[in-house]
Chains A and B, each alone.
Chain A
Amino acid sequence: MISGVLVIFFVLAALAVFGAVSLILQSHPIHSALSLILVMVSLAGLYLLMGAEFIAAVQIIVYGGAVMVLFTFVIMLLNAGVEERTNFSKLATFGGVPLALALGGIIAAAIWRSSGHLPPPAASGAMSSTRELSMLLFSTFVYPFELTSFLILVAILGAIVLAQREN
């Protein structure tokens, strides 16, 4: 018998895969961006399903609300048109599909064999998981955390320097 959770999982997974596929098939960047947003939202749903509420929220706020908005913004700014289907790279044209499939297959097979024994993700209480997260973030991973802030600062400066018109 299929539990409701499983149904939700399959729905979300189907949405995610659909989004990923349409990201490839769509010829217009903005449609690709929309499909990617779909993927992200469904992934956020999966996180909620697993009981990682905080990650889910951050996923939507940062990815959906900031990063992808930036993408769409840039697409609009550059007024990107429909992608032109040039095929200068024979290698990519003929070798692309099998290689990508091979890579995915390897990963999938390895994971399938290695993670069979794991228990299903248990949804621990949201606040508890969030609290645990913050504890780790400020105790064990405090230096990486601070370094990330520094990285972001550098990224901001770099973006400003890159994007400003030289005059």
Chain B
Amino acid sequence: MVPTNYYVILSAILFGLGVLAFVFKRNIITIFMAIELMLNAVNLAFVAFSQALGKADGEVFVLFVILVAAAEAAVGLGIIILTARNRRSLNVENVNLLKL
């Protein structure tokens, strides 16, 4: 059998990569994907723990996470479409109305 640690470490690695993508990508959509990647990493940890502890609560939370991610995707992509429409660009570095 596979020790729980492996799953969890894998999820940590994926999460780190997600953070990296989150910081490094310039395309709004890709950044959004990075967020999804982090969510997936968290889900993995959830499932691993819940299976290890023999409780389904963790999986319930995974379900919630997935649902919320779906909702988030709907709204977020709507926002992205608007942004792209208004600024003719998907590069977050061009979306800088707040700069000094």
A, B: real partners: yes
Number of residue pairs spanning A and B whose beta carbons lie under 8 angstroms apart: 250
| Interface, chain A (partner B; CB < 8 A) | 3, 5-6, 9, 13, 16-17, 20-21, 23-24, 29, 32-33, 36, 39-40, 43, 46-47, 49-52, 54-55, 58-59, 62-63, 66-67, 70-71, 74-75, 77-78, 80, 83-86, 88-89, 92, 96-97, 99-101, 103-105, 107-108, 111-112, 115-116, 118-124, 129, 132-133, 136-137, 140-141, 144, 148, 151-152, 154-156, 158-159, 161-163
Which listed residue (A29, A43, A120) contacts B29, Cβ 8 A? A29
B56 to chain A, nearest CB (A): 4
A88 and B4 in contact, given A24-B25, A159-B75 (Cβ under 8 angstroms) = no
A33 to B94, CA, bound (A): 22
A29 to B60, CA, bound (A): 31
A113 to B8, CA, bound (A): 11
Which listed residue (B10, B57, B69) contacts A67, Cβ 8 A? B69
State whether A104 touches B49 (Cβ < 8 A): no
A16 to chain B, nearest CB (A): 6
B81 to chain A, nearest CB (A): 6
What residues on A are CB-neighbors of B96 within 8 Å?
A: 88
State whether B75 touches A108 (Cβ < 8 A): no
Q: Which residue of A lies closest to B23 (CB)?
A: A96
Q: Which residue of A lies closest to B66 (CB)?
A: A62
What residues on B are CB-neighbors of A120 within 8 Å?
A: 1-4, 52
A-B contact pairs, 18 of them (CB 8 A): A17-B14, A20-B14, A32-B30, A50-B47, A51-B51, A63-B66, A67-B36, A67-B69, A67-B70, A71-B73, A75-B29, A78-B84, A86-B94, A103-B15, A104-B17, A111-B5, A136-B60, A148-B67
Which listed residue (B56, B72, B73, B90) contacts A133, Cβ 8 A? B56
A112 to B8, CA, bound (A): 8
What residues on A are CB-neighbors of B8 within 8 Å?
A: 111-112, 115
B55 to chain A, nearest CB (A): 9
Q: Which residue of B lies closest to A67 (CB)?
A: B73
- B45-74 Cβ-contact flags toward A at 8 Å (1 or 0): 101111111101101101110111111111
Q: Which residue of B lies closest to A96 (CB)?
A: B23
A83 to B27, CA, bound (A): 6
